[in-house]
């Protein structure tokens, strides 16, 4: 299985009482898939999983498991520990786990590779490695990612390390059946130009069809479409990430009437009016 196309890492909407708005989440999931997404990510960092209870996390997964098969869409679930991965056993609708490079500990590259290798060997589902060094504090070189990509239990990487020499080196010599999915929204267009298979893009909540078109355009060589569209979507992504993710995205979705409130849970704070105004203007300009 090679993952391709657009994956939307779903936000978790909250209602006026602060509970997870499950009906809105399901409607949003359907909207993303109907607008061109190839799959969804449940409980990615955009979904604020660390602020959800275990029951809430399971409810989010249940909705994604119900919706994705109806659209023949792929489903990734954020799971970065042996316990979280074991919780996916028997859930055949889950195509892979999105597993972050071990954060905070900074075990060094060899330690991170050893840890992820063990997780891949024991996981009931394939892994997509989430490489986001500005959050984890741990970088992985192109050779380390290629080593992980050669494992039978690893099928891809969410590459959120910007556009670096390592990104270019990795794209030049990919392991077979190892998908590179761009995860740094601002740099998705140049990464696709280098040959990335798709993207896991929070910004696509506001422009799902356009991001799907961008991915298809680069993969089919339609540069005349891809280049100007990439510039416009980069401007949108910059606006949506002006404050901690997913605060601006939630505010914009609420403004559009797609979720009941713009609420986030601590330690996040709601986005400011200026960021919201800029993001909405960028979205309308598309």
- Which are the catalytic amino acids? 130, 158
φ/ψ region of 49 (left if φ > 0, alpha if ψ in -120 to 50, else beta) reads: alpha
Euclidean distance between CA atoms 198 and 6, whole angstroms: 6
Query: Residue 197: how many CA atoms within 13 Å on its side-chain side?
Result: 21
Nearest Cα neighbor of 158 from 115, 126, 122, 201 is 201
Nearest Cα neighbor of 246 from 233, 235, 259, 230 is 259
Euclidean distance between CA atoms 260 and 109, whole angstroms: 43
In the numeric block, the tokens 């792929």 are attached to 74
Q: Please provide the size of the chain in residues.
A: 286
Instruction: Using alpha carbons, list the distances in angstroms from residue 133 to 48, 241, 246.
Output: 18, 17, 18
Cα end-to-end span (Å), the chain: 33
Strand, coil or helix: 246: coil
């Amino acid at each position: 299985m090679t993952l391709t196309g657009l994956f939307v890492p779903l936000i978790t909407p909250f209602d006026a009482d602060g509970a997870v708005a499950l009906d809105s989440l399901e409607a949003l999931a359907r909207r993303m898939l109907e607008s061109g997404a190839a799959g969804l990510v449940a409980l990615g960092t955009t979904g604020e999983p660390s602020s959800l209870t275990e029951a809430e996390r399971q409810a989010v997964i249940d909705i994604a498991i119900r919706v994705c098969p109806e659209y023949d869409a792929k489903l990734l679930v954020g799971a970065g520990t042996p316990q979280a991965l074991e919780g996916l056993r028997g859930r055949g609708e889950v195509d892979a786990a999105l597993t972050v490079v071990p954060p905070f500990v900074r075990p060094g590259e060899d330690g991170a590779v050893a840890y992820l290798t063990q997780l891949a060997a024991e996981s009931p589902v394939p892994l997509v490695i989430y490489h986001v060094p500005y959050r984890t504090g741990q970088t992985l070189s192109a050779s380390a990612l290629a080593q992980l990509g050669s494992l039978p239990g690893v099928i891809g990487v969410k590459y959120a390390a910007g556009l670096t020499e390592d990104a270019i080196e990795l794209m030049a010599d990919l392991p077979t059946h190892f998908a590179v999915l761009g995860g740094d929204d601002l740099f998705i267009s140049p990464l696709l130009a280098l040959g990335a298979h798709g993207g896991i893009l929070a910004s696509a909540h506001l422009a799902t069809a356009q991001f799907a078109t961008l991915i298809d355009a680069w993969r089919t060589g339609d540069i005349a479409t891809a280049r100007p569209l990439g510039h416009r979507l980069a401007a949108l992504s910059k606006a949506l990430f002006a404050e901690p993710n997913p605060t601006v995205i939630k505010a914009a979705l609420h403004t559009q009437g797609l979720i009941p409130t713009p609420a986030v849970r601590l330690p996040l704070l709601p986005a400011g009016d200026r960021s919201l105004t800029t993001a909405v203007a960028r979205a309308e300009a598309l």
